[in-house]
């Protein structure tokens, strides 16, 4: 792939007495923050709603019901990373003139592979309220740097609520809220030259809504999510001669829309597009007694998804999906698989 030069990402507030650094890791961190969030509506959930919409007054779990789901996702990033060291031009009085010089530039290839095995447990608190949690197990490989990492990712919990039951011919509405913990290896605490991060490095609160409408044999669906990412302080990570002290991740807005087509009672095909906007991320670094404020500009990510849902039994739906990145910050491609795990024996009697 071509060299991903985002000039807005390379702009750093220059201090009057020292050089400024543009970190390739900063760009990578911002890119990772734009990937699909746990609470976002996806094609797998949409396909399940397609199968279940005609069977229940609510598409969520019934009160007291328990559902355990396994999913596997693989994503690949390949690009060229550019690292610059920029120094301001100082006049005879020691004041910055507004110009700057590039002291060094380094271009290095990057190729990363991420394998995520996730287990999601849902419980029907009421017929129209479902609570759930997600445990991701992450395996990450950087083939260029020859670095690997096997670790737990960021745990998350979600609440879904359907205010109104499903009425044929009307739009089905579901509200949801999610909390993501920073249980994975933080990119702001590990040595970036020796270790790969498995988590975002900060807590995140998100909420949104999803809608769907049945136009037999097609189901239209869409969703919108807003996420507030909580800043991290009291950091002490060494980066290219500086020390990272604080990270202020920007909030993000994401949305998806698409349709699912029922090929038969047992097979459905879904096509969807997902877009995310992440506000600028600010970094506070320290070099000696000088404080450097670094900013990674806002980014937009787009992903096109295709999914196939197959009903293996009245209670078992298997989903296979493949996605392609549409923007520079998106993964090159994504492959996923999910299926429920039968836990009938532990369900409470009705």
Domains of the chain in sequence order: 7-341 (2.40.160.40)
Q: Residue 116 CA to chain centroid, in angstroms?
A: 12
Is residue 348's pLDDT more than 50? no
Q: What is the pLDDT of residues 132-172, one digit of tens each?
A: 999 999 999 987 778 899 999 999 999 999 998 877 778 98
Q: How many percent of the chain have pLDDT more than 90?
A: 48
Contacts of 289 (CB under 8 A, 6+ apart): none
Q: Which residue has the tokens 């950091």?
A: 235
Q: Which residue has the tokens 């287990």?
A: 119
Cα–Cα distances (Å) from 239 to 168, 242, 264, in that order, read: 57, 5, 55
Global confidence as pTM: 0.77
Going by their DSSP bridges, the two strands 316-325 and 299-313 should be labelled as antiparallel
Contact between 227 and 252 under an 8 Å Cβ cutoff? The reply is yes
Contact between 230 and 211 under an 8 Å Cβ cutoff? The reply is no
Average pLDDT over every residue of 215-223: 90
Contacts of 54 (CB under 8 A, 6+ apart): 214
pLDDT at residue 301, rounded to an integer:
92
Is residue 21's pLDDT more than 60? no
Q: Pick the residue with more confidence: 143 or 128?
A: 128
Cα gap 73→315, rounded to integer Å? 22
Q: Which residue has the tokens 């980014």?
A: 299
pLDDT at residue 319, rounded to an integer:
92
Average pLDDT over every residue of 229-240: 90
The token duo for 301 is 């990510």
Contact between 267 and 307 under an 8 Å Cβ cutoff? The reply is no
By residue count, the chain amounts to: 350
Cα gap 218→55, rounded to integer Å? 16
Q: Which residue has the tokens 């429920």?
A: 340
Cα gap 263→123, rounded to integer Å? 30
Average pLDDT over every residue of 165-182: 90
Average pLDDT, the chain: 80
Q: What is the pLDDT of residues 301-325, one digit of tens each?
A: 999 999 999 988 877 889 999 999 9
Q: What is the pLDDT of residues 182-193, one digit of tens each?
A: 999 999 998 888
The token duo for 103 is 């002291």
Q: Which residue has the tokens 């734009």?
A: 34
pLDDT at residue 49, rounded to an integer:
55
The beta strand positions in the chain, using DSSP E, are 20-22, 66-90, 96-126, 129-142, 147-152, 156-161, 171-180, 204-215, 218-229, 237-239, 242-248, 252-262, 267-278, 281-287, 290-296, 299-313, 316-325, 333-341
The token duo for 101 is 């010089």
Confidence of residue 30 (pLDDT cuts 50, 70, 90): very low
């Amino acid at each position: 792939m071509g060299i991903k030069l985002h000039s807005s990402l390379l702009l750093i507030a220059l201090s009057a007495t020292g050089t400024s650094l543009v970190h390739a890791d900063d760009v990578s961190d911002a890119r990772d923050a734009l990937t699909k969030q746990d609470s976002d509506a996806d094609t797998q959930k949409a396909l399940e709603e397609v199968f279940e919409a005609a069977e229940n007054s609510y598409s969520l779990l019934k009160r007291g019901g328990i559902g355990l789901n396994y999913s596997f996702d693989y994503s690949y990033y390949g690009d060229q990373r550019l690292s610059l060291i920029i120094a301001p031009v100082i006049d005879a009085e020691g004041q910055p003139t507004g110009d700057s010089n590039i002291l060094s530039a380094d271009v290095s290839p990057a190729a990363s592979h991420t394998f995520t095995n996730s287990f999601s447990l849902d419980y029907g608190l009421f017929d129209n309220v479902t609570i759930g949690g997600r445990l991701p197990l992450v395996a990450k490989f950087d083939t260029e740097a020859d670095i690997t990492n096997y670790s737990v990712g960021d745990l998350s919990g979600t609440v879904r609520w359907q205010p109104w039951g499903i009425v044929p011919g009307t739009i089905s509405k579901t509200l949801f809220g999610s909390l993501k913990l920073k249980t994975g290896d933080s990119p702001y605490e590990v040595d970036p030259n020796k270790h790969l991060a498995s988590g975002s490095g900060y807590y995140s609160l998100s909420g949104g809504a999803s809608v769907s409408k049945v136009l037999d044999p097609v189901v239209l669906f869409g969703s919108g999510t807003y996420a507030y990412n909580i800043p991290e302080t009291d950091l002490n990570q060494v980066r290219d001669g500086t020390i990272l002290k604080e990270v202020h991740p920007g909030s993000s807005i994401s949305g998806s829309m698409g349709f699912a087509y029922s090929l038969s009672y047992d097979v459905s095909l879904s096509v969807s597009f997902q877009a995310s906007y992440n506000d600028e991320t600010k970094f506070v670094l320290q070099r000696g007694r000088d404080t450097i404020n670094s900013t990674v500009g806002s980014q937009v990510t787009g992903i096109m998804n295709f999914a196939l849902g197959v009903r293996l039994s009245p209670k078992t739906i298997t989903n296979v999906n493949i996605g392609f990145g549409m923007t520079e910050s998106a993964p090159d491609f994504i492959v996923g698989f999910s299926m429920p795990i039968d836990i009938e024996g532990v369900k409470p009697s009705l």
